[in-house]
Structure 1
């Protein structure tokens, strides 16, 4: 069970970042549209889910073959190693898609997979079961399993989210674009639920992003042989600062940090942009996800906010680098800072970009 194709999906535009991250983790990955691919077994599946900050989910391909009609599909499905992956006491659900193929009835195709699984393994069917995916494209049938369960941006600690939160996987990707390696202090002047700071502190602490949650692969047949990864422990150092004018956001962000075991690494203060001052330490990163018109409010009312932010940063944060996330190039320019635009990344129906500066 160590030579299966594993696909790690990510946000479009993050493929080069995920490729670099997974290679640093020791996986022999290659980039594909929408993610990266490599070969491995259950141990690699577990590490990919627990240790990647950028992957959205991890899929494993358990079979691929040509099928020109339903009888042929049924026959070849029954030759797959279902018992290597599935248990009789764990429900499954099957999703099917058919494009440009002689098998065109998706429901009938899905039923063939369901019958093969129930006949061979005895696993029951349920709408909340392990997700099995059949895709038939140009008569090529590919059967994959979702090994993650909930999306990997759900780390398991951020119970408070606030308005229009940034996904953890997206925050981690933007910080990687900034070259963050855990050694620099990080400040967020509009921190909301604290996503940038929690990701930064976890990286510095050497904590696996998936250490506090469950995964679908833990219900697979071979999961009992896996051993949990011991946590990395490093001495806390206060280098992560969050500010927000909303007291509720500050309380929520602080609680998120405590749940993640990062309370001693992070400091959260309720104050407006106008009161922002630089911490007394070596320059680091200012990471900020301000409101933007498609997300919160009228875009015309936001130019003043961006201008005020840029003025404070220019005056107070010499030597620091700025990473600003927004949908609007004009808003980024309103800061008055020299910002370079990164690739477009989809975010909840919007298209955002990271605008980053050289040291101020």
Structure 2
């Protein structure tokens, strides 16, 4: 396999936010990006794979579709896997693992198919298998078409490498970035989170404002491939942060959460423009300066035993915002539409459901409060 000039690249994301990630991908220069079920797809090369991992804030992982063939039985899968030029990309000194899914194909037993591919990888290509390997070869057999994809990310891309301390119900950075985008945040306005937990929304907003690359502090699986060019990737990472006048605020009634948020902001390098305070949501006051976005992920669903106890909390939050935050937009995450409506805030029509923590949630939004 001479390295192809262009191949399919798939950006996995949270179901329900594919269109939002597609908007980000197009904005980042990934031409032809198209939203599909579970993510975004476009044609590109290996530099695009590296850049997608490094720069995209909303992608969960980046898959490179490296090729495939038709196979109607296990012997054919074995034979053609042995001829596939894996050695052009995979190194014999780097272990990998194989994941197989089958659908509507004569090869219907995923484990048997995995064994054939694994045998071809070890016997013919001299590769090393390890069930705990970071590098994953994904094999999809759909309508007898075998497609090989490499998971080029390794650990999920929400693991930016900065957040060591998390609260009880952490918001993933990738999801926070997409919700900020969905709420119309562009990096030029202040952001307030009155139930900030470990600080994900304010920190992510600050990183967006300063142009800090989300993958700047971590490693990726593609760095273990035969075609990886460390010097070229280092040059790709060498971008200076932007100056911003916007400031970012988080508060929480849990003093431990506030300490976690401050530590996480320092590790992310945004401690100079993020501010965290220890108080309840009802004590919230707007910061000096222009209006911006209030975004909040309050308790809901499986995170609380009796949701009736939450109505006073939501009601107090809504009254506080209506009274004190004129001109600000509000975005609120919850799995319970009645709780959102219990705030008394002037919500826009309910948007699409978003998969989060094994449940469906919605991002409720208001126009600027009057």
TM-score for both structures, normalised by structure 2: 0.94
**Counterpart check, 1:233 vs 2:238:** no
Give the Cα separation in 1 of the matches to 2:48 and 2:345. 43
Cα distance between partner residues in 1 of 2:38 and 2:71: 26
* Alignment partner of 2:84 out of 80, 90, 94: 80
Q: Give 1:326's aligned residue.
A: 334
In structure 1, how many angstroms separate the alpha carbons of the residues matched to 2:162 and 2:331?
A: 24
By how many angstroms is 1:115 displaced? 2.2
Among candidates 229, 238, 242, match of residue 250 of structure 2: 242
Residues 13-52 of structure 1 correspond to what in structure 2 (within 5 A)?
13-28=16-31, 29-52=33-56
* 1:272 Cα offset (Å): 1.1
Instruction: Compare 204-213 and 109-118 and name the one that shifted more.
Output: 109-118
Unaligned runs of 5+ in 1: none
Determine whether 1:90 maps to 2:90. no
Does 2:6 match 1:3?
yes
Task: List structure 1 runs of 4+ shifted beyond 6 angstroms.
Answer: none
Q: Using the TM superposition, give the Cα deviation of residue 306 of structure 1 relative to its aligned residue in structure 2, in angstroms.
A: 0.3
Tell me if 1:126 matches 2:130: yes
Task: Report how far residue 237 of structure 1 moved.
Answer: 4.2
Q: Are 2:209 and 2:244, in contact at CA under 8 Å, matched by a contact in 1?
A: no
Indicate the SS of the match to 2:301. coil
Q: Give the TM-score normalised by structure 1.
A: 0.97
**Which stretch has the larger CA shift, 312-321 or 30-39?**
30-39
Q: What are the Cα deviations for residues 61-98 of structure 1, in whole angstroms up to 9, with x where unaligned?
A: 11222111122112222232212211011001111122
Tell me how many residue pairs correspond in the alignment.
360
Contact 1:62 1:80 in 2 (8 A): no
Aligned to 1:344: 353
Instruction: State how far apart, in whole Å, the 2-side matches of 1:304 and 1:84 are.
Output: 61
Cα distance in 2 for partners of 1:236, 1:258 equals 17
Report the secondary structure of 2:174's partner residue: helix
Alpha-carbon distance change, 297 to 238 in structure 1, aligned in 2, over 3 angstroms = farther
Q: Is the 8 A contact 2:209 2:246 kept in 1?
A: no
Are the counterparts in 1 of residues 189 and 246 from structure 2 also a CA contact under 8 Å?
no
CA distance in structure 1 between the partners assigned to 2:120 and 2:245 by the alignment: 54
Distance 2:181 2:251 in 1: 22
Residue 287 of structure 2 corresponds to residue 279 of structure 1: yes
Deviation (angstroms), 1:189: 0.5
Structure 1: distance between partners of 2:291 and 2:340: 22
Partner Cα separation in structure 2 for residue 343 and residue 232 of structure 1: 36
Query: What is the rounded CA distance, in whole Å, between the counterparts of 1:230 and 1:34 in structure 2?
Result: 31
Q: Map of 1:186-335 to 2, 5 A cutoff?
A: 186-224=191-229, 226-228=232-234, 229-235=237-243, 237=245, 239-335=247-343
Query: Which string of whole-angstrom CA distances, capped at 9 and with x for unpartnered residues, describes residues 194-244 of structure 1?
Result: 111111000000011111111111111111353222132223646101100
Which residue number corresponds to residue 70 of structure 2?
66
